[in-house]
Structure 1
Amino acid sequence: MRSQYLVALLPLAAFAHSFPSPHKVKEELSAPPRGWMIHSPAPVDHFIQLRIALPQPNFHLLEEHLYAVSDPEHERYGEHLSKEEVEELVAPHPESVNAIDEWLASHGIEGNIGHSPAGDWLTIRIPLSKAEEMLNTKYHVWQHTDGEYLVRTTFYSLPAAVYDHVDLIQPTTLFGRFKPQNSSLTSPIHVENLPTLVDRATGLTVNASCNTEMTITCLREIYNATGYTPSADVGNSIGVTGYLENYANTADLQRLYEDQVPAAAAVNSTFKFISVNGGVNSQNLSRASIEANLDTQFAFGLSFPIASTFYSTRGQPPFVPSLNAPTDTNEPYSEWLDFVLSHPDPPLVISTSYSDAEETVPESYARRACAGFAQLGAQGVTLIVSSGDFGVGDGDSNPATQTCMSNDETNRTQFIPGFPASCPFVTTVGGTVFFNPEISASFTGGGFSRFFSRPRYTSSLLSRISLPSFLSYQDAAVKGFLDQLPNSTYEGLFNPDGRAFPDVSAQSASFRMFLRGEVTHQIGTSASAPAFAGLVALLNDARLKAGLPPLGFLNPLLYSKAASGFNDITLGHNPGCGTDGFNATEGWDAVSGLGTPDFGKLLKLVT
């Protein structure tokens, strides 16, 4: 297969170096991500929507503010920034704005240019031929081994006059597909010979049925949230993101409420729908989606009656050559970030259950998307993402069949972290199964980023503000885990200095939900993420009632003051890439993170 990739790339590489123009290569892939091959030339009448990211020269200042307002020991804890303050901190330099405007004008592009709220992203819709001229490149239709298609290139260039005024341009080298992290089960998991009751420190018990079928009641019992009643009138809110035409059905939500949250059913509770970039949410029952239904039913079911929002972001599923679609954007994260950052009051907790292999996402794109998440965190928004469902890479422990190879000419075996789970500005949630004991799910994603180092302050920051309690806040937790790893087993498989994930975990199997009018059961970190988000919304409820600000960016709090509010998970592992993956151990580990929440303990710690 590798030789086929090289053969497919030869004409493209030759074409790339035949240009006599003064352009300089801005980004180039040494090889396409695994599984992709050139299918055909891109259609001559194809249109593309290019997104141009301008540098954010003061992003380091935003990061400083984010950490200051997120440290529970800092004097500014909870003093979140306004939308306008965030925009001022990430705005591009006027020189960059002028340089890009002149470049676009030189190509006849002066109107119909979209601008992000801070002006750090520009959007233009142009013929593909114009994009190839501007970027000195050649697009092709690429086909994946599973049959999907994208219109992409493996390199692009920029004139010297604008080279330093652009961080990245997409869609160019982004082959990511951002898939939902769930799988269907025809029936719940049945387990024999497990204890029927859990005796928590609180004295609560858990119904034995929760070992085979997960419900809203089970989650409240397992995580010690039984009896807590949130309010609808304290300004609290929770949101769920939807991509790739995944639709959340309100009739199915009502069935879940009738089944598990009768108080919500009694008032016919539903969510607010917000369309992003023309996204829709079809209520045709036959088009109801597993992912969107799972996310909304459990995030909103756990947090009722807190105000809830479902976002549907338009972004074409993979390109279909036979349809000759006029545009092929397919990068909804940026579209959603642009939209939500343009509004002054986004939901206080937002859950996302879509991810992809980090190596399929250009590092430049991953960093800019992650910077967008930081902007939301600085405004007091908690971002929850799923850790992924393929263990440390492909979920395959068999060395003979594993597919975790580096995406370069070395073709070496390595673990494959997921994105956006690897972004340091989100809280990443892994999965568990059963209780007494609660065990890490074998599929749960976990590991170490190759793009992002573990969070730590810069020396320039330390000269400006007092030393925070969470300086390098992950290091202490992660170092203990790394110290006990057998070096010979893991050498070269992961980046030991990378941002470590997951941060926490929650139940992730046999979730009883409704799809197209019928009961079904789901498994995956797509279940654990919205469940944890629902519990965070309950904590925000308590803080708002007490006159305190919302929790916002959680990680500095989790690794310090709130660490004692989690149940340590010490059983399980996440195989993949021909290995058994990492093992759950005492303390933080790259399978379960800090563990699963004890809402009762966390409630006392944050109020």
Structure 2
Amino acid sequence: MLCLASFVAIALTVVSAKPLADSLVVHERRDAPPAGFVHSGAAPAEQTLNLKIGLAQSNLPGLESALYEVASPGSAKYGQWLSKDQVAAFARPSDETTAAVSQWLSDNDIDFTAASDAGDWLSINIPVSKANELLNADFSVFTHADSGKESVRTLAYSIPASLQPHIKLFTPTTSFTAPRNSNAIVPTEQLKPSPAAAAAGCSSTITPSCLQSMYQLPTKAATNKTNQIGVVGMDDQFANQADLTQFLKAQRTDISSSTAFGLISVDGGTNSQTRSQAGVEANLDIQYTVGVATGVPVQFVSVGESTKDGSDEGFLDVINAMIALAAPPQVLTTSYGFDTEASLSKALTFAMCDQYMQLTSRGVSILFATGDGGVASTPGVSCSGKPFPPTFPTCPYATLVGATTGSAPETGAALSAGGFSNYFAQQSWQASAVNSYIQALGSTDSGKYNASGRAYPDVSASGENVWIVSAGSTGLVAGTSCSSPIFASVVGLLNDELLNAGKPVLGFLNPWLYANPQAFNDITAGSNPGCGTNGFPAKAGWDPVTGLGSPNYPKLRTAAGL
């Protein structure tokens, strides 16, 4: 992390008058809170807000150009991922930006710290009354109707006009996050105490052996110990070692039942091993990485709640924490996300996407579950008669994983969220595949989606009737939260072989994935209904239910040059 002194030293080189109130200009605004949030009154004046300030980075276009040079199949530099220092050089704010912002904060008697390794994010703790004065804001309490969770937000805020080129955003401000667990999951209390796996076949119960058969995955243990998979855990979800041991005894008798996973803590995140506190989501993610990516070291990335004011900060903090590591896990899978894209400001989504670009430029594959509401993105979203609401992240630097159901052949799961972003444009690497689908779709769902938006999911994997252990009980769960760790395991296994062959890891996946559609099991049946419609139908080639399809490991090996 950059120390505070470095910012102050730069700031002292600039003479700047304290900005006048009339120099403030609106930086972000929304007309009303998103659906599901209710204004509950003014926030207590003395309540402390932890705000992050995203600064303008010095050369993001240069970073994007460098990324595509190393991530595009056929490029002479393909696979030559950037170093931590190389990425930081692109991301570091200019001296002018750092000086201007730090001077403004100092002039207003506000202490700050660096919140990212490159210094492109700052953190301040400030009372509501001071934040309202500084930003000409009206921080208020908003209640999420379904969960009852309260957050302090403002519908608008302003900054000095002279700082607009230097400040991307303050957060959390105009973004409203009702965190979703990407899993349409069976509650723990419905899991049944049973030490053995269900005897049913793969058509009704998915286990690691089913996945090994369906996707032709290797059963021989990986051997490269520099290769890692990171599994993000949030919302006080804890991954339990005793549950993993029980799972391995039942499902992976060919490997040691004492196989363990590591812990990376973000924002003071812990991992309680009290079995009654085991999280269904966390256990699922760990069991279907440790239990599928045989021998690949797995790290549980536990994100604590450093504040009690929403979850968007946790998403930002975890990606900045990974960027700060000298050697982050080469694969990062996240089964949590947001209700809809529209609940977040464009500034926040683009700023977070810029951080994903930084991380994947270093050779990290970033995977997210798409969500479980079909074209509605999340169960319970009210959208009948309205355009389909895309989810976030729809960032092009993340690989988005949808869900299938059944086996031999799989079909698209009805819960699989998919569609088209309203914030991010269609990407060149997906244009041919996506436009072929849109042409085949014809007038179906016309006006319900943004045909020029970034399309998702990119790929899919099994996401229904997945067998797990949690708090000593067993049961079946469903959701794209099953699919993301499964696909992450496939990437981890490929990375092991690549490293052992002296080759670079897969890193930023998307250009490579779309260049190799033949390496997937094409899913041509199923749909993802929602918003009072039948949703999108699965078709030959890419579709918004299953993406390019589910993994075919031997063909992926060939595509990777193995």
TM-score (norm 1): 0.84
1:395/1:292 CA distance change after superposition, 3 Å: closer
Query: Conserved in 2, the CA contact under 8 Å of 1:417 and 1:447?
Result: yes
Corresponding residue SS for 1:339: helix
Equivalent residue, structure 2, for 1:120? 120
Instruction: Give per-residue Cα distances to partners, 1:51-97, cap 9 Å, x unaligned.
Output: 00011241111111111111121100110000010000111111111
Superposition pairs for residues 356-505 of structure 1, below 5 Å? 356=338, 357-393=340-376, 403-404=382-383, 413-420=386-393, 422-455=394-427, 472-487=428-443, 489-505=444-460
Query: Conserved in 2, the CA contact under 8 Å of 1:230 and 1:538?
Result: no
Equivalent residue, structure 1, for 2:129? 129
Q: Give the counterpart letter for 1:528 in structure 2.
A: S
Query: Conserved in 2, the CA contact under 8 Å of 1:388 and 1:418?
Result: yes
1:317/1:583 CA distance change after superposition, 3 Å: farther
Instruction: Give per-residue Cα distances to partners, 1:502-548, cap 9 Å, x unaligned.
Output: 01111001111111011021100000000010011011111111110
Q: Give the counterpart letter for 1:605 in structure 2.
A: A
1:549 aligns to 2:524 (yes or no) = no
Shift of 1:45: 2.2
Q: Give the counterpart letter for 1:404 in structure 2.
A: C
Corresponding residue SS for 1:259: helix
CA distance in 1, matches of 2:407, 2:223: 31
1:256/1:416 CA distance change after superposition, 3 Å: same
Query: Conserved in 2, the CA contact under 8 Å of 1:428 and 1:501?
Result: yes
Query: Conserved in 1, the CA contact under 8 Å of 2:332 and 2:365?
Result: yes
Corresponding residue SS for 1:142: strand
Shift of 1:144: 1.7
Superposition pairs for residues 288-307 of structure 1, below 5 Å? 288-307=278-297
Q: Which of the numbers 206, 211, 216 marks the counterpart of 2:208?
A: 216
Query: Conserved in 2, the CA contact under 8 Å of 1:256 and 1:513?
Result: yes
Shift of 1:370: 1.0
Give unmatched runs, 5+ long, in structure 1: 1-18, 189-206, 320-327, 406-411, 456-471
Equivalent residue, structure 2, for 1:14? none
Q: Which of the numbers 308, 323, 326 marks the counterpart of 1:341?
A: 323
Instruction: Give per-residue Cα distances to partners, 1:280-336, cap 9 Å, x unaligned.
Output: 1111111111111111110121113111101111226865xxxxxxxx675201111
CA distance in 1, matches of 2:170, 2:230: 29
Q: Give the counterpart letter for 1:433 in structure 2.
A: T
Shift of 1:342: 0.7
Q: Give the counterpart letter for 2:371 in structure 1.
A: G
Equivalent residue, structure 2, for 1:283? 273
Q: Give the counterpart letter for 1:272 in structure 2.
A: G
Instruction: Give per-residue Cα distances to partners, 1:235-254, cap 9 Å, x unaligned.
Output: 21111001121111111111
Corresponding residue SS for 1:183: coil
Write out the 4+ residue segments of structure 1 that deviate beyond 4 Å after TM superposition: 316-319
Equivalent residue, structure 1, for 2:229? 238
CA distance in 2, matches of 1:276, 1:126: 22
| Segment drifting more, 80-89 vs 300-309 | 300-309
Q: Which of the numbers 295, 302, 305 marks the counterpart of 1:312?
A: 302
1:58 aligns to 2:37 (yes or no) = no
Shift of 1:373: 1.0
1:563/1:59 CA distance change after superposition, 3 Å: same
CA distance in 1, matches of 2:185, 2:547: 25
Instruction: Give per-residue Cα distances to partners, 1:426-449, cap 9 Å, x unaligned.
Output: 111100001232100001010000
Shift of 1:177: 2.6
CA distance in 1, matches of 2:297, 2:278: 22
CA distance in 1, matches of 2:414, 2:341: 20
Query: Conserved in 2, the CA contact under 8 Å of 1:394 and 1:403?
Result: no
1:89/1:38 CA distance change after superposition, 3 Å: same
Query: Conserved in 2, the CA contact under 8 Å of 1:317 and 1:330?
Result: no
Q: Give the counterpart letter for 2:213 in structure 1.
A: E
1:352 aligns to 2:334 (yes or no) = yes
* Count of aligned pairs: 531
Shift of 1:394: 5.5
CA RMSD of aligned residues (A): 1.9
CA distance in 2, matches of 1:265, 1:30: 56
Equivalent residue, structure 2, for 1:191? none
1:602 aligns to 2:556 (yes or no) = yes
Q: Give the counterpart letter for 1:211 in structure 2.
A: S
Shift of 1:161: 2.4
Corresponding residue SS for 2:239: coil
Equivalent residue, structure 2, for 1:524? 479
1:568 aligns to 2:522 (yes or no) = yes
Equivalent residue, structure 1, for 2:534? 580
Equivalent residue, structure 2, for 1:331? 313
1:262 aligns to 2:262 (yes or no) = no
CA distance in 1, matches of 2:463, 2:473: 20
CA distance in 2, matches of 1:603, 1:233: 17
Equivalent residue, structure 1, for 2:15? none
Superposition pairs for residues 66-215 of structure 1, below 5 Å? 66-110=67-111, 112-146=112-146, 147-185=148-186, 186=190, 209-215=201-207
TM-score (norm 2): 0.91
Q: Give the counterpart letter for 2:268 in structure 1.
A: G
Corresponding residue SS for 2:201: helix
Q: Percent identity?
A: 38
Q: Give the counterpart letter for 1:100 in structure 2.
A: V
CA distance in 1, matches of 2:113, 2:395: 29
